[in-house]
Amino acid sequence: MNRVKNDIFAGITAAVVALPLALAFGVASGAGAIAGLYGAIILGFFAALFGGTPTQISGPTGPMTVVFASAIAAFPNDFSTVMTIVFLAGLMQISFGIVGIGKWIKYIPYPVISGFMCGIGVIIIILQINPFLGVDSYTSIIYTVTHLLDTFGKINYEAVILATLTLIIMFLTPKKISKIIPPALIALVSMTLLSIFLSFQVKVIGEIPMGLPDFVLPMSFDILKLSTILTLSITLALLASIDSLLTSVVADSKTKTKHDSKKELIGQGIGNAICSFFGAIPGAGATMRTVININSGATTKLSGMVHSITLLLIVLFLAPLASKIPLAVLSGILVKVGFDILDYKFLKVLTKITKQNLIIMITVFLLTVFVDLIMAVGVGITISSIMAVYQVSRNTQIKTARSKVSFDIDIENQDVKIIKVNGSLFFGTAAFLEDKLEKVKNCKKIIIDCKNVSFFDISAIFTLEEIIEKFKSKDLEIILVLRYRHKRKILSVDNDNVFKKIRMYSNLDDAINYTQKYELIHG
């Protein structure tokens, strides 16, 4: 019974957090605030019901909103075709789940993900410049940037005041308060009341229709535009899948559970496909809302469904109150969202990573912002693959070692196991190491012998970091055996002091001696 109460409370809390974001994403997409709300309601409910991550909260997200806005821009005054894109994206996600494509997403190199997420964050920030200044917004990044001088000549200073105060609330609300009331909700309510009280002449959301949404029939489109439709659908499907599974991984680390990637993609696909019938914007697993849901006590999928039902009740009974919300306030909230999406973990080590990783990240970033999202990911993966093959082949020639990486498990005793890694450890092989470690059971210490590893990349380092944190929570100690140059490389990007807190040796004998001494002392 307590579990049910906790799930209901967590779901209501997640809904409170989701409300201002759903409104903001709906307006930013060009489909309207109500489309954002129903995206959170429909996707949130069906992804929770059919998905494979019990505590995940799904709904509109920054990256998905950017792509959806691109679809609206590509098909102006043709909402049926836009919903066709969403419907096809949902079907693709379902097919991804059926064939088990989710397991391959973890092989996307980290610099590609980082460049993509940073690009999305910058797109959101740039597109909010105009509404932040109280000026009509554009859907094009380049057009927004090139017309900045014209925009500055039309500034509405009352809108700027509201947007600036919103941003201050979003960034500076003390944690003690934000744990109780989300800063976005504080800004939404307080700035709307301030605008009404001072009779500010600013653009507002406008009337939000009460009641259930109108039915929209997708699959009505011009066959000559099929190429554009499929490209946008694939982009939405891939982005939604990556976004959702990354959030699932975060949920796993918080709850110490293991999500079902097949079910998760099927659930997300069903939710997005149904969104297309009601004019709702598509979405994915939302990291911040999921973490808040878990921290509020959620343990089952009931919390996600309660979150959706709560939002539905708000729409049915409180929609008129939202009509006076200034667009400048929503822009302030979205600017903060844009900054939150930036990958600070990678940016902090930008000056310490290899030129290859830096080239990949910057290339993907620039293509994401100024060209095309799916092209950015495709180009990034291609460059990463070519560089990885080059490194492996070069090392093979010099070391005359097999290019294939092997993992051998030696049992030293019942409490200590040794995993020997031979070859290169990069974004692909790091995943195999993680899989091998998942199968190791009934021991207290694991020695990962990387003495014969000829090449480390940043993805492998971050994977090792996640492995150490995961096994630490299970009271299982990870010990590394590394070459000095690899140790130096790892420590140079160890901003969170994860590696500094574990034991690292330059040869296997020293590591084994430590475990034997430990056994003698602790019995």
Supply the pLDDT for residue 408: 53
Residue of higher predicted confidence among 48 and 286: 48
pLDDT of residue 221 exceeding 70? no
Q: How many CB atoms lie within 10 A of CB 31?
A: 25
The whole-number average pLDDT for the span 271-286 is: 93
pLDDT of residue 272 exceeding 90? yes
The whole-number average pLDDT for the span 54-64 is: 90
The distance between the two most distant Cα atoms of the chain, rounded to a whole number of Å, is 77
- 83-109: per-residue pLDDT in tens? 999 999 999 999 999 988 877 766 778
Residue of higher predicted confidence among 4 and 98: 98
Alpha helices, H only, 323-428: 327-341, 344-347, 355-370, 373-399
The whole-number average pLDDT for the span 348-372 is: 86
The Cα 184–Cα 38 span in angstroms is 19
Return the amino acid letter for 277. Answer: F
Q: What is the mean pLDDT of the chain?
A: 83
Supply the pLDDT for residue 434: 75
Supply the pLDDT for residue 323: 78
236 token code pair: 């939405």
Supply the pLDDT for residue 522: 54
pLDDT of residue 329 exceeding 60? yes
Give the phi and the psi of residue 407 in degrees, each rounded to 5: -125, 115
The Cα 146–Cα 168 span in angstroms is 27
Supply the pLDDT for residue 317: 82
**Nearest to 372, CA basis, from 148, 138, 147, 140:** 140
Q: Read off the DSSP letter of residue 224.
A: G
pLDDT of residue 405 exceeding 50? no
- 467-509: per-residue pLDDT in tens? 888 888 777 888 888 988 888 888 888 888 888 888 898 888 8
Supply the pLDDT for residue 437: 76
Contact criterion met (CB below 8 Å) for 285 and 14: no
Supply the pLDDT for residue 401: 31
The whole-number average pLDDT for the span 127-135 is: 88
Residue of higher predicted confidence among 248 and 428: 248
Q: How confident is the model at residue 399 (pLDDT cuts 50, 70, 90)?
A: very low
- 186-208: per-residue pLDDT in tens? 888 899 999 999 888 988 887 77
Supply the pLDDT for residue 186: 86
470 token code pair: 């995961």
72 token code pair: 């609206």
- 407-460: per-residue pLDDT in tens? 555 544 557 788 888 777 776 667 677 777 777 777 778 888 888 887 778 888
Supply the pLDDT for residue 25: 87
Q: What is the CATH number of domain 406-522?
A: 3.30.750.24
Among 50-54, 114-118, 181-185, 212-216, which is the least confidently predicted range?
212-216
Supply the pLDDT for residue 393: 52
| Rg, the chain, Cα only | 25
The whole-number average pLDDT for the span 341-363 is: 86
pLDDT of residue 136 exceeding 90? no
